[in-house]
A = this chain, B = another copy of it.
């Protein structure tokens, strides 16, 4: 959703900009970022392998990619300890921690409404058949 060319000469405002949460969705809710942030938030500082084991089915390559992105966005702090064997620790940053109420809010919505979504899907599929 990287929006290029926002300053085109089209009349009026870019309609996509009318949705003010687009950028934040890309940052916080791209694939794997929520499980990573959640794990870091609830279990505290963790090493690479710990994260790898804690998050089912993620591959090291993808975990690295996501962690780099999160680090670049300032949501996660990476600490490298030059030992043998090397030790790297990841922890959630202040900025990342500021997402906690949002996540709680999301979790609350889930517990309140996920079954309604499930029900709706069931009904919809029944009607289609």
Contact = CB atoms under 8 A, between A and B. Distances in A.
A57 interface: yes
A55 B16 contact: yes
A55 B54 CA distance: 38
A64 to B, nearest CB: 15
Interface in A5-31: 14-16, 18-25, 27, 29, 31
A117 to B, nearest CB: 5
A72 interface: yes
A61 to B, nearest CB: 18
SS class, residues of chain A in contact with chain B:
helix
21 contacts: A16-B35, A16-B57, A18-B38, A18-B39, A19-B34, A19-B38, A21-B107, A21-B110, A22-B34, A23-B114, A24-B114, A29-B29, A72-B121, A73-B117, A73-B120, A73-B121, A74-B124, A95-B113, A95-B116, A101-B105, A102-B106
Interface of A: 1, 14-16, 18-25, 27, 29, 31, 34-35, 38-39, 42, 53-57, 71-75, 95, 98-99, 101-103, 105-107, 109-114, 116-117, 119-121, 124-125
